[in-house]
Structure 1
Amino acid sequence: MQYYAGLDVSLEETWICIMSQSGEIIAEGAVPSEIEDISLYLKSLGFDYDRIGLEAGPTSAWLYQGLIKEDLPVICIDPRHANAALKVQQAKTDKHDARGIAHIMRTGWYRVSHVKSIESQKTRVLLNARKILLNKRMDIDNQIRGMLKVFGHKIGPISAIEFSSRVYELIEGDNELVRYIDPLISVRESLFKEFKVLDKHIRDIARNDVLCRRFMSVPGVGPLTALLFKATIDNPYRFKKSANVGVHLGLTPRKYASGEIDYNGGITKSGDPMMRMHLYEAAQVILRRTSKPTTLKKWGSDIAKRTSRKVAMTAVARKLAVILHRMWVDETEFYDEGLKQA
């Protein structure tokens, strides 16, 4: 007989439901959310599991990789897809969710969520750490700007490097303000120093990585976008077509067709928002700042003339994702036919 298991994972506790092929609940219970405890519970029952499912979440990658090492047939499923089935339940509890996931495993009505490699996960930690330091430093900058406006001190447009010296220049002679602002500047300088360390480390990694250097040959794509794309996609062969990458990153429009109604909505915005933002920034560089007449820029500009700049930016961002994926799979360099002909 075939058996299926559903795991509803929270930070401290995991509910497990074991179900037969006919849908009968064989066993269920809660264990600590540790690999050893979950594995022990599943193996202690002596069943030959066909599928064991858990939803993608903060600890799912760690649990997935650990349970795979325990020779358990674990599948990480898309929580948005699973939610459509789970929300029809009359009661929303961890116990009922475990049952629902077991049912999903039994019926096969699920979408697999890719579990990234350890290397890609560490790269994401590095990129997120840089982003946090940048945002916190900018928050302090904006707070200081607002505080000094009260006294008529206008910092104005200035580089991050010159910001602190400009602040001290404005409040020079006001001992009280210096005493109150000084701790903020001290924290701000510490954040900026650590940010520059991580930023340099990211750029060094990208420059020494063959794939990232290949990505950076594409107009608008810098070290951050290149490294982030590599970490986000992780395994390019999980996409049957390069066009699917745009869908995965939420850069394609929603479709609604029912009866006589048929229209396209805004983009889905599914997938990684950080990757989507960097692709938009790369598209902006191509459409607004790049002086070189590339085929991609002409294609995007033509779309902007027919529709709008916003639509064109989305189209170019999506095209960049497709190009980068194709270069990765084919192991080819970026080649602009328009430049060659010119």
Structure 2
Amino acid sequence: MKITTIGIDLAKSVFAVHGVNEHGRAVLKKVLKRDKMLAFFANLPACLIGMEACGSAHYWARKLQGMGHTVRLIAPQFVKPYVKTNKNDAADAEAICEAVARPNMRFVQIKNVDQQSVLSLHRVRQGFVKARTAQANQIRGLLSEFGLVIPQGITHIARRVPELIEDAANDLSGSFRLLVERLMEHLKELDRQVRELEAQIQRWHRENNVSLKLAQVPGIGPITATALVASVGDAKGFANGRQLAAWLGLVPRQNSSGGKNILLGISKRGDTYLRTLLIHGARAVIQAAQRRGDTEGWLPRLLQRRNSNVAAVALANKNARIVWALLTHDRTYRRDHESAMPNT
């Protein structure tokens, strides 16, 4: 019994394993407890192992790779078509085993510990930013109930609220003033957490040459550069820059049939966080160009015929392709670079 391909359905405590031989015949159907996983695969000859890209998948992939196995991670949406029956752990493991052996299957790159650590900083920072925004909106909403309207923007909260609390002329009770002070202290603490995490990301950025290289692109700062380096990893996994842009959801959706190509809005697939960072960075570049009054170049010409939102997505798409070129060819960004067009 020589096992060539294995599919593992990951879970918290119990793992379903399905293995086939070189003829595709099932020769292994097993359920393993978490503490038995490493010992079981340590005694198996090297084979191809497939897993869904879910929680703890990168951890197990690194462990199994260290034992000499070839590990491939698959996005869950690409596994679902191979589930033949009702969903259960055994059927999922069999579907993963089937999917990982397909020659045209797309795989997720395995992240190392450093990449996962940086992405954890980004995710926690993102959570604190959302909590800070929610807290600011709550303060603004409570004050509006008493006729005190504060303009949008978190900077107005820090500047105007203390003045309103100290103003004895407004109709606020003592208990409400204390409540708003409590909320303001919470807002300050959330802001402090965000700034400390950003400082950690900045330190990692300054120590990483690839991240420094990406930050030279207009519209990509340290936050976006570190997130791209940690998420993309080896850009050679993408055939071209267009594939990377599509992976980020920055290309149009298609609904084509009968030889008619119909393009819709952007697909918004992939990592929402990365796509948001790239689009926000593109908006900053557009605002700077409008303040300068630029009239020459690709971006000003685009803004003359399209609105700023469309231009922001187009610039984010372009930056994604530039990122792929810089990572794949180990180049440095140059503003005056022109792509070599193929001869026709």
- Measure how far apart 1:276 and its partner are: 0.8
Between the aligned partners of 1:105 and 1:130, the Cα distance in structure 2 is 34
- Confirm or deny: 8 A CA contact 1:232 1:272 kept in the other structure: no
- Measure how far apart 1:236 and its partner are: 2.6
Between the aligned partners of 1:239 and 1:226, the Cα distance in structure 2 is 18
1:274-304: per-residue Cα shift (whole Å, max 9, x none)? 1111111121122222355789x83133334
Partner residue in 1 for 2:268: 269
- Measure how far apart 1:61 and its partner are: 0.3
Between the aligned partners of 1:251 and 1:315, the Cα distance in structure 2 is 8
- Confirm or deny: 8 A CA contact 1:280 1:313 kept in the other structure: yes
Further displaced range: 115-124 or 71-80:
71-80
- Note if 1:319 corresponds to 2:318: yes
Q: TM-score, normalised by structure 1?
A: 0.86
Amino acid at match of 1:136: A
Taking a change above 3 Å as real, the CA distance of residues 100 and 211 of structure 1, as seen in their structure-2 partners, is closer
Between the aligned partners of 1:198 and 1:50, the Cα distance in structure 2 is 40
Alignment of 1:1-342 (within 5 A): 1-32=2-33, 34=34, 36-42=35-41, 48=45, 50-86=47-83, 89-108=84-103, 110-157=105-152, 159-160=154-155, 163-164=157-158, 166-172=160-166, 173=168, 174-290=173-289, 291=291, 298-337=297-336
- Confirm or deny: 8 A CA contact 1:294 1:336 kept in the other structure: no
1:86-124: per-residue Cα shift (whole Å, max 9, x none)? 2xx231111111122222345546322111222111111
- Confirm or deny: 8 A CA contact 1:303 1:311 kept in the other structure: no
Taking a change above 3 Å as real, the CA distance of residues 150 and 85 of structure 1, as seen in their structure-2 partners, is same
Between the aligned partners of 1:104 and 1:211, the Cα distance in structure 2 is 33
Between the aligned partners of 1:188 and 1:226, the Cα distance in structure 2 is 27
What's the RMSD between the two structures over aligned residues? 2.7
- Measure how far apart 1:205 and its partner are: 3.3
- Measure how far apart 1:29 and its partner are: 2.3
Further displaced range: 202-211 or 321-330:
202-211
Between the aligned partners of 1:208 and 1:25, the Cα distance in structure 2 is 48
Structure 2 gap segments, 5+ residues each? 338-344
1:215-267: per-residue Cα shift (whole Å, max 9, x none)? 23222222212222222222233233233321221212223332254312222
User: Matched residue of 1:65: which SS?
Assistant: helix
- Confirm or deny: 8 A CA contact 1:19 1:103 kept in the other structure: no
- Measure how far apart 1:158 and its partner are: 5.7
Taking a change above 3 Å as real, the CA distance of residues 152 and 204 of structure 1, as seen in their structure-2 partners, is same
Q: TM-score, normalised by structure 2?
A: 0.85
How many residue pairs align between the two structures? 331
